[in-house]
């Protein structure tokens, strides 16, 4: 051993604290939360008591807050635990666990650490927002890990040296990085966001954990995630492989232990709907407010396994219902729950983020006959009441174009207003001329208002890409834009556009065509989520409306695909699926920055309603020739009288009415004049 090595060894020994210090103890002793955090200062385990049992398992230490059985309070033996899986809701302080784990590993200086994130960006973000603030505010870490920004520190953003080891931050998208070194500790952040198979070399979780095999039981792996879709979810698999620990609190009235179950016990108070109560499920049945459960009920609370598991995996379930007092209250969650009753997207978010449960995808069970049976007796090319805005989607095939006009109303209710096939090769102008004519023909609603198509998405992914670009380029002022299904999974319904027209020097033309990527799998989730949820709804509450004019083929195409959880992709069940693609691209129109219907508030819809569905009560327009005065009066009060002349609504008028939406419009293809929602332009359907 050389002098330098000997010196380093001495130093290392000197700063090495008690090897047996657990993560919970380390956090309380050493961790300082930065000023930027919601509760800065010393870490206090009592603030989030439910995290202690998880840290005990991850430390491989006996836990006094974990039980074998309700009546067996001997300290729980965690010595065989290698992997800890946490299936968690949002806003519980759960992400601090990974930081504490890493912090303790660094100070015990006992081996290399691999921290894995869904993407490279996530890794960088974690370093910047989580690790670096912890490092710089915690003296115990500052001594050991030198600032990556300082010259000569040898550290980079994604590689941290410390006495006794090295921490690498990697993305789960690169197999090479996951396989490179032998490590003792692995942190797997938000594993449900990982790809299932990376570079054809297998699951990134397996690739990373295989690195620890040399360490046997001394290895520790911590995986956490908010769950996503049932049977696809990685954290659900890990949870089921483990001993499925639940956090038991005591009924403030009878003392009976139980874990919070939203569906069973959470209700609004019958006396005051603003107050939310949890009703004791295993004892007396009494309801108590959050403040009582989280004080008296939390006294002596503990984790307890509810399954046998594989003996090496401690798995934990933690819903947002457990968040400390002063964080997100139950009443907020109840408001979200109520709002989610008519909105599938919100329900999926609630189930995943609040309840920490998987969303069950049932797209494969969707039958076309079921949807056809729900069709309503409105004619195609008519605008049913409630339908306030029109968009169009065009699919390009080598011998035809297919187009669907969708209508949109409050809460993003969707109507199929029209569906046509235009014959002709898109390489030739004829079929595009037909499309122009189709888009130019106005549709008048039953209030006499002539409605134009606000946006039109043209799919350029078919065999006639250049022709589709040429069409879109010349009509962007009319709201026609080019789309293509995104290559990657789990992308937003509509992403950032890219320039497609480049000069010989490689620069982009200012007025060139832009291509908007569409997260087709995300959109399909939305479409199917809405279709499935409509099953139990009255017509007025349905999200998706169809005309009885649509033929069987339409409905068969609409349900032509189903989500395959084991492959995490949408599989075609039949060849033709244009109707589904068109619905997806109409959703892309709705989410386009020029419309952003998803961000509409009630007031925005109301303003639009006042324009599109003016309920004119004109006593003179329909005076009955004879009849009694009472009947006349009743008629005047209750019926909607049609306006005789065709009113025309242009973008400027809508812009003024929905002016409040203007500040929400973010990146818009063309600069939008201040104070308008849709660029002031002539109604191009009127030309
Ligand atoms: Zn009770």
Mean pLDDT score, 489-511: 82
Q: Which of 173-177, 273-277, 472-476, 659-663 has the lowest mean pLDDT?
A: 659-663
How remote is the CA of residue 55 from the centroid of ligand 1, in Å? 29
C-alpha–C-alpha distance, residues 224 and 206, integer Å: 15
356, 318 contact by CB (below 8 A): yes
Q: How far is the CA of 253 from the centre of ligand 1 (A)?
A: 5
What is the rounded distance in angstroms from the CA atom of residue 685 to the CA atom of residue 454?
Answer: 10
Which residue in the block uniquely carries the two structure tokens 């032509």?
Answer: 560
Q: Calculate how far, in angstroms, residue 284's C-alpha sits from the geometric centre of ligand 1.
A: 4
- Asked if residues 205 and 217 have their Cβ atoms less than 8 Å apart, the reply is no
Q: Which of 109-123, 276-290, 501-515, 587-601 is predicted with the least confidence, judged by mean pLDDT?
A: 501-515
CA of 354 to the centre of ligand 1 (A): 24
Domain borders along the chain are 3-246+305-329, 364-604, 606-660
Q: How far is the CA of 325 from the centre of ligand 1 (A)?
A: 21
C-alpha R_g of the chain: 30
| CA 607/CA 410 separation, integer angstroms | 11
Contact 333, 277 (CB under 8 A): no
Alpha-carbon dihedral angle through residues 444, 439, 545, 596, given to the nearest 10 degrees: -100
Instruction: Tell whether the model's pLDDT for residue 153 goes beyond 80.
Output: no
Backbone angles phi, psi at 8, to 5 degrees: -60, -40
DSSP state of 127: I
Cα of 321 vs centre of ligand 1, distance in Å, is: 18
Question: What length is written for the chain?
Answer: 687
Q: How remote is the CA of residue 243 from the centroid of ligand 1, in Å?
A: 26
- Lookup result for tokens 């942190």: 187
- Rounded distance from Cα 288 to ligand 1 centre (Å): 9
d(CA 546, CA 549): 8
Gap from CA of 338 to ligand 1 centroid (Å): 26
* Distance between Cα 298 and ligand 1 center (Å): 14
The CA 257 to ligand 1 mean position distance, Å, reads: 8
Report CA dihedral (527, 529, 532, 538) to the nearest 10 degrees: -90
Note the Cα 270 to chain centre separation in Å: 33
Of 418, 428, 335, nearest in space to 378 by CA: 418
Distance from the CA of 287 to the center of ligand 1, in angstroms? Answer: 8
User: What CA–CA distance (Å, rounded) separates 209 from 185?
Assistant: 9
Decide if 70 contacts 251 (C-beta within 8 A): no
**Does 7 or 437 have the greater pLDDT score?**
437
Ligand 1 mean position, distance from CA 73 (Å): 21
Reference 105, options 220, 224, 223, 225; nearest CA is: 220
> What is the H or E stretch that residue 170 is in?
strand 165-171
The encoded tokens of residue 264 equal 């069973």
Q: Which token pair is 123?
A: 């890794």
What proportion of the chain, given as a percentage, has pLDDT over 70?
86
> Ligand 1: distance of its center to the CA of 496 in Å?
53
Strand, coil or helix: 586: helix
What is the rounded average pLDDT of the residues 12-31?
Answer: 76
Q: How far apart are CA 258 and CA 249, in angstroms?
A: 6
Whether pTM > 0.75 for this model: the answer is no
Q: Measure the CA–CA gap between 473 and 432, rounded to whole angstroms.
A: 13
Structure tokens at 58: 């991850």
- Token pair, residue 119, equals 């993407």
What's the mean pLDDT in 370-385? 95
Distance from Cα 282 to the centre of ligand 1, integer Å: 7
Q: What 8-state DSSP symbol labels residue 555?
A: H
291 CA → ligand 1 middle, Å: 16
Gap from CA of 75 to ligand 1 centroid (Å)? 26
Question: How many C-beta atoms surround the C-beta of residue 303 within 10 A?
Answer: 26
Give the Cα separation of 30 and 100 in Å (integer): 10
* Least confident piece of the model among 182-196, 214-228, 617-631: 617-631
Calculate how far, in angstroms, residue 611's C-alpha sits from the geometric centre of ligand 1: 55
Q: What tokens appear for 503 in the block?
A: 């000069």
CA of 333 to the centre of ligand 1 (A): 23
Centre of ligand 1 to C-alpha 251, Å, is 5
Mean pLDDT, rounded, of the chain: 86
pLDDT of residue 645: 39
Quote the ligand 1 centre to 490 CA distance (angstroms).
43
Rounded distance from Cα 268 to ligand 1 centre (Å): 18
- Centre of ligand 1 to C-alpha 267, Å, is 15
pLDDT band at 2 (very low <50, low <70, confident <90, very high): low
* Residues 322-346 pLDDT 10s: 999 999 999 999 999 998 887 777 8
What is the whole-number distance in angstroms between the Cα of residue 280 and the centre of ligand 1?
A: 5
**What pLDDT is stored for residue 490 in this prediction?**
81
Cα 554 to its chain centre, rounded Å, is: 29
Question: Angle, to 10 degrees, between the axis of helix 95-108 and the axis of helix 23-30?
Answer: 90
Runs of H (alpha helix) within 31-111: 50-59, 95-108
199/54 Cα distance (integer angstroms): 33
Pairing of strands 449-451, 443-444: antiparallel
Domain 364-604 sits in CATH at 3.30.420
Taking the C-alpha atoms of residue 192 and residue 186, their distance in angstroms, rounded to an integer, is: 16
Kind of pairing between the strands at 561-564 and 569-572: antiparallel
Task: State the distance from the centre of ligand 1 to the C-alpha of 92, rounded, in angstroms.
Answer: 25
pLDDT score for 636: 42
The domain 3-246+305-329: what is its CATH number? 3.40.50.300
Q: Which two tokens stand for residue 567?
A: 């492959």
Q: Which pLDDT tens digit goes with each residue over 87-124?
A: 999 999 888 999 999 999 999 867 999 999 999 999 99
Residue 263 CA to ligand 1 centre (angstroms): 17
Segment 217-226 mean pLDDT: 95
**pLDDT above 80 for 133:** yes
> What is the structure's pLDDT at 158?
93
- What pLDDT was estimated at residue 69? 96
Both structure tokens of 188? 């797997």
Q: What's the 531 CA to ligand 1 centre distance in angstroms?
A: 40
pLDDT at 667 over 80: no
Measured in angstroms, how far is the CA atom of residue 67 from the centroid of ligand 1?
Answer: 20
Pairwise CA distance, residues 324 & 597, whole Å: 35
User: For the chain, percent helix, then strand, then coil, each to nearest 5?
Assistant: 35, 20, 45
* Per-residue pLDDT reduced to its tens digit, 64-87: 999 999 999 999 999 999 999 999
Q: Residue 289: CB partners within 8 Å, gap ≥ 6?
A: 269, 275, 276, 277, 278
56 CA → ligand 1 middle, Å: 29
CA of 258 from ligand 1 middle (Å) equals 9
Mean pLDDT of 339-366: 86
Region 438-455: what's the mean pLDDT? 92
What is the distance in A from the centroid of ligand 1 to the CA of 319?
21
Q: How far is the CA of 334 from the centre of ligand 1 (A)?
A: 22
- Tens digit of pLDDT for each residue in 627-666? 444 444 444 443 333 333 344 454 444 544 444 333 333 3
Q: Find the 68 Cα to ligand 1 centroid distance in Å.
A: 22
Q: How many angstroms from the chain centroid is the CA of residue 387? A: 26
Q: How far apart are CA 543 and CA 409, in angstroms?
A: 9
For the residues 211-234, what does the mean pLDDT come to?
92
Distance 246 CA to ligand 1 centre (A): 18
Structure tokens at 335: 């408001």
Structure tokens at 171: 């993305």
Q: Is 675 helix (H, G, I), strand (E, B) or coil?
A: coil
Rounded CA separation 632/619 (Å): 9
Contact 640, 615 (CB under 8 A): yes
């Amino acid at each position: 051993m050389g002098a330098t090595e000997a010196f380093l060894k001495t130093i290392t020994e000197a700063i090495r604290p008690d090897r047996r210090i657990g993560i919970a103890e380390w956090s309380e002793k050493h961790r300082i939360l930065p000023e930027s955090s919601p509760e800065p200062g010393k870490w206090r385990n009592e603030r989030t008591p439910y995290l202690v049992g998880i840290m005990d398992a991850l430390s491989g230490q006996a836990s006094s807050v974990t039980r074998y059985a309700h009546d067996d309070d001997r300290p729980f033996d965690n010595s065989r635990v290698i992997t800890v899986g946490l299936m968690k809701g949002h806003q519980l302080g759960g992400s601090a666990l990974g930081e504490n784990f890493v912090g303790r590993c660094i100070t015990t200086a006992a081996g290399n650490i691999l921290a894995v994130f869904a993407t490279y960006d996530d890794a960088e973000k974690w370093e910047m927002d989580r690790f670096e603030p912890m490092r710089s505010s915690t003296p115990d870490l500052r001594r050991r890990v030198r600032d990556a920004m300082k010259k000569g520190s040898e550290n980079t953003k994604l590689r941290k040296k410390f006495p006794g080891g090295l921490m690498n931050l990697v993305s789960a998208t690169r197999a090479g990085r996951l396989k490179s070194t032998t490590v003792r500790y692995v942190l797997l952040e938000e594993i449900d966001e990982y790809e299932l198979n990376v570079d054809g070399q297998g699951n990134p979780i397996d690739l990373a954990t295989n690195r620890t095999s040399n360490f046997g039981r001394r290895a520790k792996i911590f995986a956490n995630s908010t769950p996503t879709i049932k049977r696809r979810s990685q954290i659900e698999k890990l949870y089921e492989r483990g001993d499925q620990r639940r956090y038991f609190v005591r009924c403030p009235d009878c003392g009976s232990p139980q874990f919070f179950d939203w569906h069973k016990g959470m209700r609004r108070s019958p006396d005051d709907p603003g107050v939310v109560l949890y009703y004791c499920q295993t004892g007396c049945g009494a309801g108590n407010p959050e403040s009582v459960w989280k004080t008296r009920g939390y006294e002596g609370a503990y984790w307890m396994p509810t399954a046998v598991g594989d003996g090496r995996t401690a798995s934990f379930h933690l819903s947002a219902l457990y968040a400390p007092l002063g964080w997100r209250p139950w009443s907020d969650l109840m408001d979200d729950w109520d709002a989610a009753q008519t909105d599938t997207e919100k329900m999926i978010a609630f189930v995943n983020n609040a309840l920490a449960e998987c969303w069950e995808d049932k797209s494969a069970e969707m039958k076309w006959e079921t949807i056809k049976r729900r069709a309503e007796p409105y004619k195609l090319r008519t605008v049913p009441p409630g339908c306030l805005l029109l968009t169009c989607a065009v699919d390009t095939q080598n011998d035809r174009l297919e187009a669907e006009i969708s209508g949109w109303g409050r809460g993003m209710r969707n109507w199929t207003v029209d569906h046509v096939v235009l014959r002709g090769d898109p390489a030739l102008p004829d079929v595009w001329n037909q499309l122009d004519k189709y888009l130019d023909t106005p549709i008048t609603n039953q209030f006499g208002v002539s409605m134009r198509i606000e946006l039109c998405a043209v799919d350029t992914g078919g065999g006639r890409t250049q022709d589709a670009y040429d069409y879109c380029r010349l009509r962007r002022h009319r709201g026609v834009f080019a789309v293509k299904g995104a290559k990657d999974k789990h992308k937003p319904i509509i992403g950032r556009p890219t320039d497609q027209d480049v000069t010989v020097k490689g620069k982009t033309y200012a007025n060139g065509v832009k291509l908007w990527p569409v997260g087709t799998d995300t959109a399909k989730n939305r479409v199917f989520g809405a279709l499935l949820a409509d099953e139990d709804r009255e017509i007025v509450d349905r999200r998706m409306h169809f005309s009885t004019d649509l033929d069987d083929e339409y409905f068969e195409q609409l349900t032509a695909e189903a989500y395959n959880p084991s492959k995490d992709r949408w599989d075609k069940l039949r060849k033709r699926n244009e109707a589904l693609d068109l619905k997806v691209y109409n959703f892309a129109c709705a989410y386009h920055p020029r419309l952003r219907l998803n961000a509409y508030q009630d007031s925005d819809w109301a303003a639009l309603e006042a324009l599109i569905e003016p309920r004119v009560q004109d006593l003179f327009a329909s005076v009955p020739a004879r009849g009694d005065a009472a009947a006349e009066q009743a008629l005047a009060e209750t019926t909607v009288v049609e306006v005789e002349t065709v009113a025309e609504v242009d973008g400027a008028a809508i812009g003024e009415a929905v002016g409040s939406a203007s500040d929400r419009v973010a990146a818009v293809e063309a600069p939008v004049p201040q104070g308008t929602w849709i660029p002031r332009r002539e109604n191009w359907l009127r030309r």
